[in-house]
Amino acid sequence: MDATNESSEGAPFILLGLTTSPEQRRPLFGLFLVLYVAGILGNGLIVAAIRASPALRAPMYFLLAHLSFADLCFTSVTVPKMLANLLAHDRSISVAGCLTQMYFFFALGVTDSCLLAAMAYDRYVAIRHPLHYATRMSRAVCKTLVGTAWLVSHVHSLLHILLMARLSFCASHHVPHFFCDHQPLLRLSCSDTRHIQLLIFTEGAAVVVTPFLLILASYGAIAAAVLRLPSASGRLRAVSTCGSHLAVVSLFYGTVIAVYFQPTSRYEAERGRVATVMYTVVTPMLNPVIYSLRNRDVQGALRALFTGRRISAGDS
């Protein structure tokens, strides 16, 4: 390796961000600051309400608390740095910082994926097998599902980061993105990246595509049960709830699959940034609304949280 390449190897990356236009930076900062604060408050309140309320001890709320916590952390891995870079002149990030950000981004993203699948399974059991719900979704089973989600996600992330850390970046270090992500970094590498792309299409598919298919199958079975309900209003309410859940899930998985499950040579930076915003900012903000803020039990727990009133399991 020549002297130029050696000096480039340890050089920091420059995150080009969402835009290179100075006129657009402040409006984008305001927009994403509002979205970020809304997501943090929404998910934080859900976690606090579930932990504080004895009425919210069902398996669904146990899983929801972990999803909200994961979402809260997931957005915090990328958005604060993006906001800072929209106002700063120095948009650099060290190689170690880049790999660290990437590690937690992958780990928390896969945790989200697994928890969404676990929540869909919970709803499937509740509707299709109500008599066996208490045993199939016992606290031990819920803890196993959550523990597996966190374990699998960190093993997945560690495997990818160990491979990414071996890459050489001997050309430009300007990353056309607002955080350190797979595809733009692979485009900048002068190493052979085929083994990493193969890993994305195999092991990556197992932790993204498989949960998505399980969710679709669960909602398909739920829809079949809902259509057999005797009450028209009950069917309408169930379809509305399931439809909103499925819309957000499809937005999350659809954009993730569109970004990662394509050859690096076909990756387009501008389209990739737009799609990434959907699953890093928008869906974590929507999850509290879709999964909980429309729920009467959660609304009651939030009111009790703000008023300081204690709520018992009998109040739900």
Residue 43 lies in a domain: yes
Separation in Å, CA 300 to CA 238, 305, 308 = 21, 9, 12
Q: Is 1 inside a domain boundary?
A: no
Tell whether the torsion through CA atoms of 129, 134, 135 and 138 is positive or negative. Answer: positive
Q: Tell me how many domains the chain contains.
A: 1
Is 8 within a domain?
no
Residue 164 lies in a domain: yes
For tokens 């940034």, the residue is: 273
Give the DSSP H/E element, type plus range, for residue 96.
Answer: helix 95-128
Whether 145 maps to a domain, the answer reads yes
Does residue 313 sit within a domain?
Answer: no
The overall average pLDDT reported for the chain is 87
pLDDT at 311: 55
Which stretches in the chain have pLDDT values below 70? 1-10, 171, 234, 293-294, 309-316
Q: How many of the other CB atoms lie within 10 Å of CB of 198?
A: 11
CATH classification at residue 83 = 1.20.1070.10
Contacts of 10 (CB under 8 A, 6+ apart): 95
Q: Which domain holds residue 92?
A: 13-307
Q: Is the four-CA dihedral 34, 38, 44, 48 of positive or negative sign?
A: positive
Domain membership of residue 113 (yes or no) is yes
Is residue 4 in a domain? no
pLDDT, tens digit, 9 for 90 and up, residues 192-221 = 888 888 888 888 888 999 999 999 999 888
